Amino acid sequence: MQSEEGAAALTEVDALALTASTRLADIGRARTRFGSHVALLVETVLLRRKAAAKLPGTGTWFFTDDALQQATPRAVAAHRATRLTDRNVHDVTCSIGAELDAVVGTAATVIGSDLDPVRLLMAKHNVPGATVLRADALVPCTRGTVVLADPARRSGGRRTHDPAALEPPLPDLIDAYRGRDLAVKCAPGLDFDRLGWDGEAEVVSLDGGVREACLWSPGLSGGGVTRRASVLGSDGTAWTVTDAEGDDIPERAPGEWIVDPDGAVVRAGLVRHYAARNGLWQLDPRIAYLTGDSVPDGVRGFRILDQVKYSEKSLRQELARHDCGVAEILVRGVDVDPAVLRPKLKLRGSRSLSVVITRIGRSGVAFICAARP
């Protein structure tokens, strides 16, 4: 437990600016007060400040830098916790307690375990409402619990998408809890089909950025769902689409708008399902851009002004005709580098426009668009 003296020292160090311009002087001042403890005090304060946006409400927590980087953002952990309401939950890779803190508010009983003794001490301090113990994630030590796991996605100091290179290895984790209710956080780029997972794979985005995937065992999914996209906002907004919904969409010419679906929808392979729900259709069956005569709430839309067969020359002429001086360039399905293309367009106009370069059939197509405000 943190001592009163330690808490007072952290409060005093937290009063320092510790900016790039003041850090050396601030640390020197703190060293005269706290001697050899200054490095730990400063690191703790800086990590708490860094955590404020990702994990709001953790101003008295203890962190390591690696643990903070891997910790699930509060909004994503809270979303997952709602699916574990009134269950007994065992987080077998609890680390500093980011997931524990979320499920404490929804689950009936919460247990956390880890092999790292330092992180366990932090978890005990950070989440006093959970029972925390030292155990190997690959050796089951509870019964009747939903097992929650977050294998480390770094191997040899580098991020990995190889399931067998996770720590603990994902195949071993699945084998250890086969037949149990299991939820495993993993990288959104994981090839779920190759893994042979027979439950649900959920891809989650937050504020427009894809954050993670979560594998839910069959007992935790239900409803025939094997793919789910969950789109979250820090403002509390949330919606989902699943493969249990219909995916019948028409084949039509481009509508008034181009719609760029959220990355979670694309990664989960649910573009057609999302389109069917919102009365949209695809520009091309193999491309994730959608089109229609309206734009769903919460996604980017681009109103089509013109369409040309793609070439640098034709695009440059068309943008000049539209008096374009600044162009946002979006590319999907064709080999075009926006950073290389932009200076070749020689834009000198007064308007800001968006250019969507993609493929319809075998032809490259450029759409000159006005982005929705």
The dihedral through the CA atoms of 269, 271, 272, 274 has a sign that is positive
Residue 139, CA distances (Å) to 151, 165, 173 in order: 14, 18, 9
Please give the Cα distance from 34 to 61 (Å, whole number).
20
Please give the Cα distance from 191 to 189 (Å, whole number).
6
What are the beta bridge partners of residue 363? Answer: 360
Residue 63, CA distances (Å) to 51, 98, 122, 173, 245 in order: 9, 10, 7, 25, 41
Global pTM reads: 0.90
Q: Please give the radius of gyration of the chain, using alpha carbons only, rounded to the nearest integer.
A: 25
Please give the Cα distance from 247 to 270 (Å, whole number).
8
- The arithmetic mean of pLDDT across residues 29-58, rounded, is 92
| Fold entry, domain 69-241 | Rossmann fold (3.40.50)
223-255: per-residue pLDDT in tens? 789 999 999 999 999 999 999 999 999 999 999
Domain boundaries, the chain: 4-51, 69-241, 301-373
Please give the Cα distance from 125 to 7 (Å, whole number).
13
pLDDT above 70 (res 160): no
The predicted structure's pLDDT at residue 34: 87
Please give the Cα distance from 255 to 365 (Å, whole number).
15
336-373: per-residue pLDDT in tens? 999 999 999 999 999 999 999 999 998 999 999 997 76
- The arithmetic mean of pLDDT across residues 178-198, rounded, is 86
More confident residue, 164 or 257: 257
